[in-house]
C-alpha cells in the first residue's frame, strides 16, 4: 500500500498524469458509471475525465481529488455554487476551504447519522447511496475498491522526433524507475514489440528507429505493465522482477506475496527492411 502511494505522488512528474489502467477495466468502470449516473452531472464529469485521461492537462492527480470532493459536496445538497466558482482557478484553495465541511459530512455519512439515520425522512437517491457505499468501502476496505491500481500513475511517455526516421523516448528512465524495472528490460520489450532497434543517447534517452507517436508507445508500455508489472492476483503494481531458478523470470508481488513466472522477451522474426540494397553490393 505504501508503495502504491509512492507511485501516486505526482508533483515532480512532468505535468500530465496518465493512468495506465488496462482497457477492459476502464471500460467496465465506464459502463458502471454510465449506469449509475442518471441525472447526476458530477458523475458524468468524472467519467469524461477518465476517458480522456491520456489527454488531460496539468494536474491529473489533484483533478481527481477535486472531483471526488465535489461528489461528496453534491450530497450536501446546496452551497455548491460558491465552490463551483472557485474550482476553475484555485483548486488547492477550494480543497482547503471545503475540507472541514466535507469532513463533517463524511462523519455523518460514516456514522449513519443525519440524513443517513434510518429514522430520517428525506429521500436518499440511488447515486447518493452508491456514493456512500463507495466512501465506506474505500475507508474501511481500501484494497477492495481496486483503487490501488487506479492510482497507479506513471507519466506519459515523452516522444520527440529526431530527423525523419528516428523517435526519441525522453523519459524512459523516469518511467522505468516508477515501474521498478530496468531500462534494459523495458527497452528490449519496446524493440521487440515495435520490430525495430535503437540506442541510448548521452542523456539516457532512448533513440528508436522509426516514427512513433506518444500514443503508440503508450500502448506498448501499457502492455508491458500488464505483462511484467502488475500482479495477476491482486493487481498491485508494487512488484519485483527477479531471475529465479532455471533461468525463468518471476514477478513477485510485494503486497500479496504471490509469484508468477513471466515469459522472456523474444524478438521473433524480423524482416530485413531497407537494407537489402546494401547487402547485395
Partner 1 sequence: MSIENLKVNDPFADDVGDTQPKNYVHIRIQQRNGRKTLTTVQGLSKDFSPKALLKAFKKEYACNGTVIIDPDMGEVIQLQGDHRTKVMDFLTDKDKSKMGKYALQKDHIKIHGF
Residue 3, binding choice from Zn ion, partner 1, none, Cβ under 5 to 8 Å by partner class:
none
Residue 253, binding choice from partner 1, Zn ion, none, Cβ under 5 to 8 Å by partner class:
Zn ion
The pair phi, psi for residue 236, each rounded to 5°, is -70, 140
Binding mask 103-142 for partner 1 (x = CB under 8 A): -------------------------------x--x-----
Q: Find the binding residues for Zn ion in span 227-246 (CB under 5 A).
A: 231, 233-234, 236
Work out whether 208 is an interface residue with Zn ion (CB under 5 A). no
Work out whether 193 is an interface residue with partner 1 (CB under 8 A). yes
Q: How many CB atoms lie within 10 A of CB 217?
A: 23
Residue 51, binding choice from partner 1, Zn ion, none, Cβ under 5 to 8 Å by partner class:
none
Distance CA 247, CA 253 (A): 19
49-84 burial code (b ≥16 CB/10 A, e <16): bbeebeebeebbbebbebbbbbbbbbbbeeebeebe
Work out whether 241 is an interface residue with partner 1 (CB under 8 A). no
Distance CA 281, CA 277 (A): 7
Closest listed residue to residue 173, CA positions, set 181, 163, 165, 164: 181
Judged by CB, which is closer to Zn ion: 167, or 236?
A: 236
Judged by CB, which is closer to partner 1: 122, or 261?
A: 261
Q: How many CB atoms lie within 10 A of CB 183?
A: 15
Q: Could you say which of 3, 8, 29, 200 contacts partner 1 (CB under 8 A)?
A: 29
Q: How many CB atoms lie within 10 A of CB 29?
A: 17
Q: Which residues bind partner 1 (CB under 8 A)?
A: 25, 28-29, 32-33, 134, 137, 143-146, 149, 165, 192-196, 210-212, 215-217, 219-220, 227, 232-235, 248, 258, 260-263, 268-271, 273-274
Amino acid at each position: 500500500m505504501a508503495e502504491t502511494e509512492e507511485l501516486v505522488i505526482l508533483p515532480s512528474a512532468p505535468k500530465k498524469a496518465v493512468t495506465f489502467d488496462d482497457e477492459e477495466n476502464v471500460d467496465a468502470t465506464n459502463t458502471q458509471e454510465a449506469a449509475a449516473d442518471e441525472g447526476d452531472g458530477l458523475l458524468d464529469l468524472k467519467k469524461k475525465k477518465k476517458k480522456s485521461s491520456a489527454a488531460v492537462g496539468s494536474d491529473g492527480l489533484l483533478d481527481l481529488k477535486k472531483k471526488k470532493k465535489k461528489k461528496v459536496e453534491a450530497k450536501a445538497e446546496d452551497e455548491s455554487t460558491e465552490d463551483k466558482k472557485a474550482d476553475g482557478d484555485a483548486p488547492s484553495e477550494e480543497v482547503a476551504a471545503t475540507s472541514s465541511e466535507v469532513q463533517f459530512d463524511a462523519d455523518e455519512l460514516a456514522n449513519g447519522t443525519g440524513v443517513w439515520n434510518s429514522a430520517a425522512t428525506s429521500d436518499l437517491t440511488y447515486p447518493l447511496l452508491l456514493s456512500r457505499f463507495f466512501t465506506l468501502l474505500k475507508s474501511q476496505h481500501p484494497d477492495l475498491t481496486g483503487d490501488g491500481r487506479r492510482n497507479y500513475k506513471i507519466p506519459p511517455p515523452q516522444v520527440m522526433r529526431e530527423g525523419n526516421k528516428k523517435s526519441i523516448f525522453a523519459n524512459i528512465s523516469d518511467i522505468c524507475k516508477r515501474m521498478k524495472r530496468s531500462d534494459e528490460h523495458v527497452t528490449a520489450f519496446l524493440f521487440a514489440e515495435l520490430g525495430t532497434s535503437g540506442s541510448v543517447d548521452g542523456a539516457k534517452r532512448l533513440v528508436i528507429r522509426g516514427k512513433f507517436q506518444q500514443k503508440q508507445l503508450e500502448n506498448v508500455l501499457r502492455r508491458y505493465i500488464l505483462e511484467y508489472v502488475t500482479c495477476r492476483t491482486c493487481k498491485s503494481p508494487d512488484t519485483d522482477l527477479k531471475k529465479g531458478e532455471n533461468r525463468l523470470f518471476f514477478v513477485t508481488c510485494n503486497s500479496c506475496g504471490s509469484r508468477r513466472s513471466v515469459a522472456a522477451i523474444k524478438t521473433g522474426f524480423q524482416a530485413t527492411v531497407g537494407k537489402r540494397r546494401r547487402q547485395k553490393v
